[in-house]
Chain A
Amino acid sequence: MESQTLYRTGLTGEAIASELLALPATKATRSRATPTSETRVVQRVLIGAALAYFALLVLTPLIVVFYQALRKGLEFYMIALSDSDTLSAIRLTLIVAAVAVPLNLVFGVAAAWSISKFDFRGKSVLVSLIDLPFAVSPVIAGLIYVLIFGLQGWLGPWLAAHDIKVIFALPGLLLATIFVTVPFVARGLIPLMEAQGKAEEEAALVLGASGWQTFWRVTLPNIKWGIIYGVILCNARAMGEFGAVSVVSGHIRGATNTMPLQVEILYNEYNYVAAFAVASLLALLALVTLAVKTAVEWRSAQGAPQ
């Protein structure tokens, strides 16, 4: 029992660390969790220090956000959120996430599947490309799209002549969001699928299953928790992204502002209650994300044959 508890703590600790580093936990590091030999006092001091650190850095700002949002009461909070520009920002954020997340889901699964189950030329290039958005600053990502689709960019004059709007409109916001969220699903699945190996798929093929059958009946059930995990993180980032969308948004009120941009605008207008009200929605999203993520981790650890 004791060792199982420690194992669980180790897993969650690493899951947090891996999220901070945006790197997935691998099997190799998981098995490192062993019972410690430190005395109880040392253990408690270490745990206490870690908790105090996180309370200061993570919990306090979170409480401040909700305190500021509700400072003038629930009625002001609701009125702030029902402002038409704010509603439009919420709607836009939902649309952006609703497009970006499914696209990244399909792409991520396809990429992870081909990378982990097949050998082909240029595989390492593909892996590096998937990692690229983590390495590139989101502002640069936004600027790249301005350079390509802007009026002075490569495609700008042609797009203007055909009256197609990309940047400073929904397509630009989608492109920027998809760019920064590309790695989340694929990067979570690749180590998982590599660790699972090809044996089960090979067995299915030998027994006469088609490619699709193998995918639906063998591969997918094995990775479903990994997929959910990736989708949650991908969604959180898609809704919370600021830098890249700020560059391509044009900041038109009620039209091209997403929730994070709306927070900045409201704050700059001395409208603190409204700014923190929108921020509290984003914080709620983060909390829900965290809860679902923890549940998924717990569920997948339960289901994992150890």
Chain B
Amino acid sequence: MKYLNIALVSLVALFAANAHADVTLLNVSYDPTRELYQEVNAAFARHWQATAREKVSIRASHGGSGRQARSVIDGLEADVVTLALAYDIDEIADRARLLPTDWQKRLPNNSSPYTSTIVFLVRKGNPKGVRDWDDLIKPGVSVITPNPKTSGGARWNYLAAWGYALRKYGNDEGRARNFVTALFHNVPVLDSGARGATTTFVERGQGDVLLAWENEAFLALKEFGSGKFEIVVPSVSILAEPPVAIVDRVVDKRGTRKVAQAYLDYLYSDEGQDIAGRNFYRPRSQKAAAKYAKQFPKLNLFTIEEVFGGWTKAQKTHFADGGVFDHIYQPGK
């Protein structure tokens, strides 16, 4: 009887019209933020109902950061973009002129309401004894990371390794390049997005180390239990700042600027910061940062500005067609 009821309700819902909402927003985001924005969207809808007396329904689209940016450039009508790195939003501003090029100055903290970093996920007991970046270039250690061409997380992974090597070899670019080349020799497969790489490592059991967003590594522990995996924190890593922005041309056309702005502001609010911390993103606000301080390991973080002179430069040197990555990664070798 119970099954029949569920089946009947489903059938009705299948053919009934969508639930009515006064306003809809589309948030085009990157791979590992699914769980984060599920929670944010529900909380913001309650908040907006209470403050503006308007029913808002937020739709979400997730995928590799670069690919998502490409979709927005090709006309996917995102009211807000919440991507893995600033360069992908720069591309939307440059190629499609959907928002001004100085978009990153419009919100506090470089428009990044939360930060993260790159850590290692290894199998229980750390059988290959991975402690730091140096262990990743040892022969016989298989490293899983997604493709830097399509995945934002993968670009952070790559730059974190490069930054470590620069520090280790006294800013010798040639030796840093050799280090990253050796690392990618140990990469058997490149998935297109961070979540795909996590699935490859966790579910299909490939590789000894997963280079992952800190939040993605914590989520894998939560989903699969800490009995199967361990997080290894390297001595040095990169401060990843995933930025958010309003897409001006879209919100002005759809008349959603006010609610889109409120949505992004909500990410900086106490509730928004608390949700970020709960989903293993490092919150910016002192209050939430203090509350979740215990869950995040302390490590040396460098920024992309310090080491690479910003995203545009890093992208051009390393990830553009014919860039360094194209030279060092030769599949099958």
Contacts and interface: CB of A to CB of B under 8 A. Distances in A.
Interface of A: 74-75, 78-79, 81-82, 84, 87-88, 90-91, 146, 149-153, 156, 160, 163, 165, 167-168, 250-255, 265, 267-270
A150 B74 contact: yes
A84 B9 CA distance: 11
Interface in B158-203: 195-196, 199
Given A265-B62, A270-B223, 10 more contacts: A75-B3, A79-B6, A82-B6, A84-B13, A153-B74, A167-B74, A250-B76, A253-B59, A254-B59, A267-B199
A252 B61 contact: yes
B14 A152 contact: no
Contact of B62 (A82, A84, A156, A251): A251
A146 B3 contact: no
Given A150-B74, A252-B61, A253-B60, A75 B2 contact: yes
B10 A250 contact: no
B300 to A, nearest CB: 31
B181 to A, nearest CB: 30
Contacts of A253: 59-61
Contacts of B3: 74-75, 78
Contact of A152 (B19, B35, B73): B73
A261 to B, nearest CB: 11
Given A167-B75, A270-B223, A250 B61 contact: yes
Contacts of B77: 165, 168
Nearest to B62: A251
Contact of A151 (B10, B73, B196): B73
Nearest to A143: B74
Interface string B63-102: 1000000010111110000000000000000011000000
Given A87-B14, A165-B77, A250-B71, A152 B96 contact: yes
Interface of B: 2-3, 6-7, 9-10, 13-15, 18-19, 26, 31, 34-35, 59-63, 71, 73-77, 95-96, 195-196, 199, 223, 253
A146 B9 CA distance: 37
A82 B13 contact: yes
B63 A251 contact: yes
A16 B204 CA distance: 31
B75 A87 contact: no
A250 B76 CA distance: 6
A87 B96 contact: no
A274 to B, nearest CB: 13
B304 to A, nearest CB: 27
A152 B2 CA distance: 51
Taking each of B3, B31, B76, B196, which has the highest tally of chain A beta carbons within 10 Å of its own beta carbon? B76
Given A78-B6, A268-B195, A151 B61 contact: no
Contacts of A153: 74
30 contacts: A74-B3, A78-B10, A79-B6, A82-B9, A82-B10, A82-B13, A84-B19, A87-B10, A87-B14, A146-B74, A149-B75, A150-B73, A150-B74, A152-B73, A152-B96, A165-B75, A167-B74, A167-B75, A168-B74, A250-B61, A251-B63, A252-B26, A252-B59, A254-B18, A265-B62, A267-B199, A268-B34, A268-B199, A269-B35, A270-B223
Contacts of B59: 252-255
B206 to A, nearest CB: 16
Contact of A168 (B15, B34, B62, B76): B76
A255 B62 CA distance: 13
B153 to A, nearest CB: 14
Contacts of A146: 74
Contacts of A151: 73-75, 96
Nearest to A151: B75
Contacts of B35: 269
B61 A251 contact: yes
Contacts of A270: 223
B14 A90 contact: yes
Contacts of A269: 34-35
Taking each of A88, A156, A252, which has the highest tally of chain B beta carbons within 10 Å of its own beta carbon? A252
A22 to B, nearest CB: 27
Contacts of B10: 78, 81-82, 87
A71 B77 CA distance: 39
Contacts of A250: 61, 71, 76
A73 to B, nearest CB: 10
Contacts of B223: 270
B63 A156 contact: no
Contacts of A163: 253
B14 A91 contact: yes
Taking each of A91, A152, A250, A253, which has the highest tally of chain B beta carbons within 10 Å of its own beta carbon? A250
A165 B31 CA distance: 25
B14 A150 contact: no
B2 A87 contact: no
5 smallest beta-carbon distances between A and B, as pairs: A151-B75, A150-B74, A82-B10, A78-B6, A250-B76
Contacts of A150: 73-75
